[in-house]
Structure 1
Amino acid sequence: MKYAVLLFFAFVWSGSDQKSFQEGQVAPDIEMTNLKGEVVKLSSLRGQMVFIDFWASWCKPCRKENPEIVRVYQTYKDESFDNGEGFAVFSVSLDKKQEAWQKAIVKDSLIWDTHVSDLKGWKSDAAVAYGISSIPMSYLIDGDGVIVAVNPRGDKLEKELKKNRKSDSWFKSLFDK
């Protein structure tokens, strides 16, 4: 029994790229409340490139990556893409305590507007719908809600945004590679 439990936790915390949804599929809508108790829908961001980020305040790899997400957000939030105007982050927290979630947002300077959670942890409606078994986990979707990248972490997120950025000319696109 002891080894079965260890194997289970090794799988859950392995950070494996679970791909419940694949590139080319439409991302299911997420409808949850923000810190003010207002209902926010993922679909309200249609027309933009959106980074859906599943994370939690207690997740050290998530917190370690937050500065990079902030940097990419600041760089691309006003960009034009082949299928979307602007770049947004839709943060889905798997926290159970609102105070910890809120403190992490402030401490990590997560400056975008769309932070949501139902404070159910791993039983979060969004986590269940997306089959999330480890975090951080993310999806990049285009202006139509179509998944263009699964779990684009680190420099892969910026590479995907560059690849989908609207080019002013063929000459400019030579330098985006």
Structure 2
Amino acid sequence: MVSLKESMGKVTLIDFWASWCMPCRKENPKVVALYNEFHSKGFNIISVSLDGDAGDWKEAIAKDGLTWTQVSNLKEMDDPIVKRYGVTLIPTTFLLDATGKVVGIDLPQSEMKRKIQELLQK
């Protein structure tokens, strides 16, 4: 069980993805780069997988080098968190400030990086 409250005080990216989603897999190296650059400065990522098969999910995590918190109910798009966040397609990302407020949704990479830098300096 993972709670977003555990991330309070940190700039956090919530990343909705799945192993079978090729656009997601293409984005993963960019997410890894953000994590590597900013994690030591207080940046956190929680990835929410919309997979249905645990083996495929775990294999993708290892292959793509996703070293941060990973969660999945293995219910694909029927996962209750999908409805809660209004996710209709993946990849979808939500950038949260240190108070947990959503400050960006699906930001382009350059804008995401700029926003993370800005939030970490506050």
Is TM > 0.5 for Structure 1 vs Structure 2? yes
Q: Are the counterparts in 1 of residues 18 and 24 from structure 2 also a CA contact under 8 Å?
A: yes
* Structure 1: runs of 5 or more not aligned: 1-38, 80-85, 168-177
Q: 1:94 aligns with which of 50, 74, 80?
A: 50
Structure holding more helix per residue: 2
How many residues align structurally?
122
2-structure distance, mates of 1:115, 1:90: 6
1:160 aligns with 2:121: no
Contact 2:17/2:24 (CA < 8 Å) preserved in 1?
Answer: yes
> Which residue is equivalent to 2:27?
65
Any idea what SS the aligned residue of 1:43 has?
helix
Superposed structure 1 runs of 4+ greater than 4 Å apart = none
1:77 alignment partner, SS class = helix
TM-score of the two chains, using structure 1 as the length reference: 0.66
> Runs of 5+ in structure 2 lacking a partner?
none
- Identity among equivalent pairs (%): 39
Q: 1:138 to 1:164 in 2, by over 3 A?
A: same
2:6 to 44, 64, 80: 44
Post-superposition CA distance 1:101-144 (Å, at most 9, x none): 100000000011x1001111001111111111111101000111
- Aligned letter for 2:105? V
2-structure distance, mates of 1:60, 1:166: 34
Give the CA RMSD over aligned residues. 1.1
Q: Does 1 or 2 have the higher relative contact order (CA < 8 Å, sep 6+)?
A: 2
> Which structure has the larger Rg over C-alpha atoms?
1
